C-alpha cells in the first residue's frame, strides 16, 4: 500500500515511476555543468585551443562550435580583459549555445521532461503533480511560460544548425598529411560527426512545428503535403528518442574531439 502524505506525490502506481524523471533530471544537471565548462571554464584554461583539432591533421569541429563562425562568416570572437584573470577569448560556443538550448527548452518533449523532472507537475503518468494539487496549473499561456511559443522560430535556427552539422561531417572527411597535402578518408571522428548530424536531423525534422509547417491542415490524402505530414508523423512518434540520442551525441562527439585535439588519443583513420 502506498503511503500518502503532503510531501510525497499521490499515486496508486506500485512501480518505480520516479526512476525515469530522476534519471532525466540527473542528465540535465550533468549537461548543464558540461555546457558551463565548454562555454566558460575551458576557454579560461591554458588549453584555450582545445576545440581546434587542426594540429591533429583533421578538420573536426565539435557540435558546440558549429557553425564555425570564423570559417563561414569571418567572425572572430572578441578578447575580453577580465581584471585579475587576464585576457579571455570569448568562446564561439558561448555565442552559439542559446539557439540549440532555446530550441530544446521550448520543445514539446523537452518541456515534458522539464515539467516532470524538475517541477514534478506531474512527475509521471497517473501521479499527482504538485501544481495540479494546488490548482495552480494554467498551461503554457500566461507569464514566463508564454515564451515557449517562440519554438517555431527556434525551429528555423535549429534547421539551419542541422544543415551545418552535415557540412561539418563533409569537412570531417578531410585530413592533412604530414607533408601538408590534403587527403580524403574516414576517421572515427567522421563517423561520430555523421551520427551527430543524423540524430540532430531526425530530432529537428520530427519536430511538431515542422510537421505543422509541412502538412498542417492538409486533410486530403493524395496531396504532397498530406504525404509529408504522414511521413513526419511517423518520425514524430519517436521524437523523444531523437531528443535524447542527439543530446547524448553532442557530449560524446565533443569529448572525443577534445581527446583528439589534445593528442590524448591517436585516431584510427582510413584514407581513400
Ligand atoms: Fe520538439 Fe519541436 S517539438 S523540437
Atom of ligand 1 nearest to the CA of 155: 2
Per-residue model confidence (pLDDT) at position 48: 44
In which residue are the cell numbers 522539464 written?
A: 114
Cβ < 6 Å from ligand 1: which residues? 107-109, 151, 155, 207-209, 239
- 152's enclosing H/E stretch is helix 151-171
Atom of ligand 1 nearest to the CA of 209: 2
Residue spans per domain, the chain = 19-271
Pocket test for ligand 1, best of 99, 101, 102, 107 (most atoms within 8 A of CB): 107
Atom of ligand 1 nearest to the CA of 204: 4
**Nearest residue to 211 (alpha-carbon basis) of 114, 109, 115:** 109
Per-residue model confidence (pLDDT) at position 7: 55
Per-residue model confidence (pLDDT) at position 64: 95
Per-residue model confidence (pLDDT) at position 4: 45
For 190-229, give the secondary structure using H, E and C: HHHHHHHHHHHHHHHHCCHHHHHHHHCCCCCCCCHHHHHH
Ligand 1 centre and the CA of 99: distance in Å?
13
User: C-alpha cell of 71?
Assistant: 570559417
Per-residue model confidence (pLDDT) at position 253: 96
The per-residue pLDDT string of the chain (272 residues; one tens digit each, 9 = 90 and over) reads 544 444 566 778 888 888 999 999 999 999 999 999 999 887 765 444 445 677 677 889 999 999 999 899 998 888 888 887 777 788 899 999 999 999 999 999 999 999 889 888 888 888 877 665 566 666 666 677 778 889 999 999 999 999 999 999 999 999 887 777 888 999 999 999 999 999 999 999 999 999 999 988 888 888 999 999 999 999 999 999 999 999 999 999 999 998 988 888 888 888 88
Per-residue model confidence (pLDDT) at position 171: 93
Helix axis angle, 224-236 relative to 188-205, nearest 10°?
Answer: 120
CB 150, CB 110: distance < 8 Å: no
Per-residue model confidence (pLDDT) at position 31: 97
Atom of ligand 1 nearest to the CA of 210: 2
Atom of ligand 1 nearest to the CA of 110: 1
Ligand 1 centre and the CA of 217: distance in Å?
18
Ligand 1 centre and the CA of 158: distance in Å?
10
Per-residue model confidence (pLDDT) at position 218: 82
Residue nearest to atom 2 of ligand 1 (CA): 207
Amino acid at each position: 500500500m502506498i503511503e500518502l502524505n503532503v510531501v510525497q506525490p499521490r499515486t496508486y502506481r506500485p512501480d518505480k515511476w520516479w526512476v525515469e524523471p530522476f534519471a532525466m533530471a540527473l542528465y540535465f544537471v550533468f549537461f548543464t555543468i558540461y555546457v558551463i565548462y565548454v562555454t566558460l571554464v575551458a576557454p579560461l584554461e591554458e588549453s584555450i585551443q582545445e576545440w581546434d583539432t587542426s594540429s591533429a591533421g583533421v578538420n573536426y569541429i565539435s557540435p558546440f562550435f558549429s557553425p564555425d563562425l570564423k570559417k563561414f562568416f569571418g567572425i572572430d570572437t572578441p578578447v575580453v580583459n577580465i581584471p585579475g584573470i587576464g585576457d579571455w577569448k570569448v568562446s564561439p560556443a558561448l555565442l552559439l549555445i542559446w539557439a540549440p538550448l532555446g530550441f530544446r527548452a521550448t520543445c514539446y518533449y523537452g518541456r515534458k521532461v522539464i515539467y516532470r523532472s524538475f517541477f514534478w507537475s506531474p512527475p509521471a503518468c497517473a501521479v499527482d503533480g504538485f501544481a495540479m494539487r494546488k490548482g495552480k496549473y494554467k498551461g503554457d499561456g500566461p507569464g514566463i511560460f508564454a515564451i515557449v511559443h517562440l519554438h517555431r522560430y527556434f525551429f528555423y535556427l535549429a534547421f539551419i544548425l542541422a544543415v551545418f552539422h552535415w557540412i561539418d561531417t563533409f569537412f570531417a572527411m578531410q585530413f592533412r598529411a604530414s607533408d601538408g597535402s590534403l587527403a580524403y578518408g574516414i576517421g572515427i571522428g567522421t563517423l561520430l560527426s555523421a551520427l551527430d548530424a543524423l540524430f540532430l536531423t531526425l530530432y529537428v525534422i520530427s519536430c511538431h512545428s515542422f510537421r505543422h509547417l509541412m502538412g498542417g491542415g492538409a486533410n486530403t490524402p493524395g496531396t504532397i503535403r498530406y504525404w509529408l505530414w504522414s511521413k513526419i508523423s511517423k518520425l514524430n512518434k519517436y521524437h523523444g528518442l531523437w531528443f535524447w540520442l542527439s543530446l547524448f551525441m553532442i557530449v560524446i562527439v565533443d569529448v572525443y574531439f577534445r581527446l583528439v585535439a589534445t593528442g590524448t588519443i591517436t585516431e584510427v583513420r582510413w584514407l581513400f
